[in-house]
Chains A and B, each alone.
Chain A
Amino acid sequence: MPRRSTAVAVTCLLAASLVGCTPPPTAPPTPTSTAIFASEEEALAAATDVLTRYNAAFDKANSAGAKNWDELEELVTQQHLTELEKPGVINSNGWHTKGVSTFSVVSVASFESGESDSSIALNVCRDVSGVRVLDASGQDVTPINRPDSVPLVVSLVTSDSEPSSLLVAKVDTWLNPASC
């Protein structure tokens, strides 16, 4: 207990310099047995599984011109689906892709587990070296400055309707070039 208190004090001090820091909540602690994920490893495994399907569906959608994102519907939050449907370079130019990508999870950026919801964010390197962008005539128009490995932060949250499953809620570029 004393060790934990010290840790709280130190981290609160760090946080206070950024955003201020309120005292710990007064609600009594809840045993982990009711948490959705018993451990970070378990959440990571579930998140990786979702991300694998997300990645495959993303490749598939882009290979068909990035017009139809229905296959991702069951893997993402409604908000993220809306974000995904905003036209990007491929869709806007009438292009499509060929090939598949892979990804590797570098680290867990954050993990939070409660009894009603949980979230996990992963630092991911998405290897797109096998994906080429083609125009309508089949000519390779892959942007020259596209990296082979795209660093991303993928945030997943538990589904409201089915708390044991995770959904992709957000994908952002991850700035940590040493890792991809």
Chain B
Amino acid sequence: MAESRILLGVVSLAVAIQLISGGALEPATAAACDVQDKVSGFCSEGGIDGGDAVIRGDGIVDGGNGGGGGDTDGEDGGRDTDGGNGGGEDVIDTSMRCTSCVEVSDAITLSDLAAFRPLAPSLRMEPDGWMLVGLPANFIVGTRTHVVSGTLFDHAVDVRFTPSSYSWSWGDGTSTRSSVPGATWSSLGLPEFSTTPTSHVFDEKGLYRVSVTVSYTVEFRVATLAWRSIAGTLPGPATVVAAVAGTAKTVLVDRECTRNPSGPGC
């Protein structure tokens, strides 16, 4: 049997995901990711723009005789924000082969942009809402690895945020960074007012606004493809808790002061 002239009419849907880099990468990453950098492997696969993971898609719906699985035009990735370090372009090769199914005259180029933001963590402390001057107060961030989903270009996009470090601003002019989110004294098996990796001692009486910012590592995936990481870390939204620092003196009371407020010592 004579085979058709076109052995394979290719209808391919190529989606390029372009990540716009806003962070401090190498000194002179190209503004646009052109062929030289693509072949060299310099096209950043990850980018973070402020508090957002920004993923851009450019794609071509390409049919007929054009051939080539995965086409994409080299669109400028540097025109977004922050002086836009080179956004990489990735081609998802989702070619569908369609025998003798041809003649889509011109390639259609589509473009889309999606930004993803991690969920705000919770912040609690013990003692709850107050601390004693000169003794550690313990702070605990409630956050865990989570996925934020959206669509890009009619493709499901999942962005996964994994907490990596915690920046604490204690409200007294000092700040520290921890690698753990913190845990309660009881779960750590420690007595109250013990020092923990996320405890802080306030030296003065007063009202303090303690805030924590969680830095996340970010990965994304399109459709059911494997997860891909984005370079750098993304700072999540700050969470603040207010607490009063006071002093304490030890007195003997008849009963708890809440039960017997007028008792001696209360």
Q: Which residues of A does B touch, CB under 8 Å?
A: 1, 4, 7-8, 11-12, 14-15, 18-22, 24-25, 27, 29-32, 35, 58, 62, 66, 80, 83-84, 86-93, 109-115, 119-121, 123, 126, 128, 131, 141, 143-147, 150, 152-153, 155, 157, 169-178
Residue from B16, B92, B96 whose CB has the most chain A CB atoms within 10 Å: B96
- List the interface of chain B (C-beta within 8 A of A): 1-14, 16-17, 25-30, 32, 34-46, 61, 63, 65-72, 74, 86, 88-93, 95-104, 108, 222, 225-226, 228, 231
Chain B min CB distance to A170 (Å): 6
Contact of B103 among A14, A25, A128, A155 (CB under 8 A): A25
Which of B2, B17, B96, B222 is close to A29, meaning CB atoms less than 8 Å apart? Answer: B2
- Taking the closest CB of chain A, its distance from the CB of B52, in whole angstroms, is 19
A92 to B32, CA, bound (A): 12
- Among B3, B228, B231, chain A packs the most CB atoms within 10 A around the CB of B3
Knowing A15-B11, A25-B100, A83-B35, the reply to whether A126 touches B41 (Cβ < 8 A) is: yes
The answer to whether A110 and B67 have CB atoms under 8 Å apart is: yes
CB neighbours (8 Å) of B91 from chain A are 153, 172-175
CA distance A76 to B71 in the complex (A): 16
Contacts A11-B98, A24-B100, A111-B7 known; 15 new A-B pairs at CB < 8 A? A11-B96, A14-B96, A24-B102, A62-B36, A84-B35, A86-B32, A88-B36, A89-B28, A92-B30, A112-B6, A120-B67, A150-B38, A172-B72, A174-B70, A177-B226
Contact in complex: A31, B3 (CB < 8 Å): yes
Q: Which 9 A-B pairs have the closest CB atoms?
A: A109-B69, A88-B36, A119-B67, A175-B90, A150-B41, A155-B68, A30-B5, A24-B100, A11-B98
Check if A152 sits within 8 Å of B2, measured CB to CB.
no
Q: A87, B36: Cβ atoms under 8 Å?
A: yes
Q: Residue on A with the closest CB to B226?
A: A177
B71 in contact with A170 (CB, 8 Å): yes
Interface residue from B14, B38, B96 paired with A171 (Cβ < 8 Å): B38
Which interface residue of B65, B71, B93 has the most chain A CB atoms within 10 A?
B93
Evaluate contact between B35 and A155: CB separation under 8 angstroms: no
**Which B residue sits closest to A84, measured CB to CB?**
B35
In the complex, A11 Cα to B12 Cα: how many Å?
12
Partner of A8 from the list B1, B45, B100 (CB cut-off 8 Å) is B100
> Do A141 and B108 have beta carbons less than 8 Å apart?
no
- Tell whether A171 pairs with B226 under 8 Å between CB atoms, given A15-B96, A31-B3: no
A-B contact count (CB 8 A): 217
Determine which residue in A27, A30, A177 has the highest number of CB atoms from chain B within 10 A of its CB, and name it: A177
Partner of A31, one of B2, B36, B38, B90: B2
Listed by A's residue number, 8 A-B pairs whose Cβ atoms lie within 8 Å are A11-B99, A19-B13, A30-B4, A110-B95, A128-B40, A145-B45, A155-B69, A175-B222
Do residues A173 and B68 form an inter-chain contact, with CB atoms below 8 A?
no
Given known pairs A58-B39, A141-B26, the reply for A8 and B99 (CB within 8 Å) is yes
CB distance from B57 to the nearest CB of A (A): 11
Measured CA separation A147–B46 after assembly (Å): 12
CA distance A17 to B99 in the complex (A): 15
B97: A residues at CB distance < 8 A? 11, 110
B43 engages A173 (CB within 8 Å): yes
Across-interface contacts of B100 in A (CB, < 8 A): 8, 24-25
Minimum C-beta distance from B168 to chain A (A): 28
A163 to chain B minimum Cβ distance, whole angstroms, is: 14
- Least Cβ–Cβ distance between A62 and chain B, in angstroms: 7
CB distance from B120 to the nearest CB of A (A): 28
Among B27, B68, B231, point to the contact of A93 (Cβ < 8 A): B27
- Closest A residue, CB atoms, query B74: A83
Whether A21 pairs with B98 at a CB distance below 8 angstroms is yes
A66 surroundings in chain B (CB, below 8 A): 36
Verify B104–A20 contact, CB threshold 8 A. Answer: yes
Q: For residue B226, which residues in chain A have a CB less than 8 angstroms away from its CB?
A: 177-178
Q: What is the CB-to-nearest-CB distance from B102 to chain A, in angstroms, rounded to a whole number?
A: 6
For B93, what are the chain A residues with a Cβ–Cβ distance below 8 Å? 109, 123, 153, 174-176
| Residue of B1, B30, B35 with most chain A CB atoms under a 10 A cut-off | B35
